[in-house]
């Protein structure tokens, strides 16, 4: 049986440099990656979002998530907003335009009266939903702690992906129910006339002057709304194309 020699103070001093070296090697492997992550995130925003003419909200790959580190949460503010907007519009907006695009005559418009009335009522919920979504997104944006170089780029991205689309969405949310309600009013007026009105394609002929005046008054309100709605939707289409 061999006996173990007691470790002398001198031997312990010799081991200290080795222990410190091992510690330093460990620490060097856990260095601050933030500058590198921030640089990668800024480059992504500049090349994949700002450099695109259309509204680009690309989904992150697993490699990009790793490269961006905690800044994945900053990007989530943007993607969450678009998911929220999609949730507001996807189940209701597209059917509205699909239905209106299929209208080729006054008779077909009259046949869709109840459908349009329901759409007008349902679309009233868009405005408060969008206002809530924007307020929540702005609050998340304000809570982000970003270095100045990232903030300068992120502000531009936020304007492109949140502020501008939100302005257009708010316009659509205002125009759709107002436009549809007026169309329903026109249809109701026509139905009330019975045999006093003759419909040929897109032409309506009244025998009652008062009814004609009411119809024309609605039409005067409706025409600029339809034009504004069409132009607004075109803006949105140009942004995403």
Query: How do residues 174-232 score in pLDDT, each as one tens digit?
Result: 999 999 999 999 999 999 998 899 988 788 899 999 999 999 999 999 999 999 998 99
Query: DSSP 3-state assignment of 208?
Result: coil
Q: How confident is the model at residue 236 (pLDDT cuts 50, 70, 90)?
A: confident
* More confident call, 110 vs 18: 110
Pairwise CA distance, residues 131 & 194, whole Å: 42
Q: How confident is the model at residue 132 (pLDDT cuts 50, 70, 90)?
A: very high
- For residue 40, the model assigns a pLDDT of 97
C-alpha angle 39/44/48, rounded to 5°?
A: 160
Phi, psi (deg, nearest 5) at residue 6? -65, 140
**Eight-state DSSP code of residue 69:** G
* More confident call, 71 vs 110: 71
Pairwise CA distance, residues 204 & 58, whole Å: 49
Q: pTM for this one? A: 0.79
Helices 209-240/164-193 angle, 10° precision: 150
Q: How confident is the model at residue 5 (pLDDT cuts 50, 70, 90)?
A: very low
Which residue reads 């780029």 in tokens? Answer: 153
Which residues, 6+ apart, have CB-to-CB distance to 56 below 8 Å?
Answer: 48, 49
Instruction: Count how many residues are written for the chain.
Output: 241
Pairwise CA distance, residues 110 & 188, whole Å: 8
**Could you tell me the residue ranges of all domains in the chain?**
33-240
**Token pair of 77 as six digits:** 């503010």
What's the chain's average pLDDT?
86
Is the pLDDT at 31 greater than 80? The verdict is: no
């Amino acid at each position: 049986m061999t006996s173990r020699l007691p470790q002398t103070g001198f031997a312990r001093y010799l081991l200290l440099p080795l222990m410190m070296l091992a510690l330093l090697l460990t620490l060097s492997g856990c260095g601050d990656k933030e500058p590198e992550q921030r640089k990668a995130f800024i480059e992504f925003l500049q090349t994949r979002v700002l450099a695109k003419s259309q509204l680009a909200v690309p989904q992150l790959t697993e490699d990009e998530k790793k490269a961006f580190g905690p800044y994945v949460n900053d990007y989530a503010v943007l993607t969450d907003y678009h998911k929220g907007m999609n949730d507001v519009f996807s189940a209701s907006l597209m059917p509205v335009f699909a239905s209106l695009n299929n209208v080729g005559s006054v008779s077909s418009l009259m046949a869709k009266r109840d459908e349009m009335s329901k759409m007008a009522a349902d679309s009233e919920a868009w405005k408060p939903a969008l206002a809530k979504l924007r307020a929540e997104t702005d609050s998340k944006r304000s809570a982000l702690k970003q270095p100045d170089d990232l903030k300068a780029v992120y502000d531009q991205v936020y304007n492109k992906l949140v502020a501008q689309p939100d302005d257009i969405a708010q316009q659509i949310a205002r125009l759709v129910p107002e436009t549809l309600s007026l169309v329903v009013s026109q249809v109701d007026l026509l139905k009330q006339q019975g045999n006093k009105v003759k419909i040929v394609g897109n032409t309506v002929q009244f025998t009652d002057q008062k009814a004609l005046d009411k119809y024309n008054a609605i039409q005067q309100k409706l025409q600029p709304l339809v034009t504004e709605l069409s132009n607004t939707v075109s803006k949105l289409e140009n942004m995403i194309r």
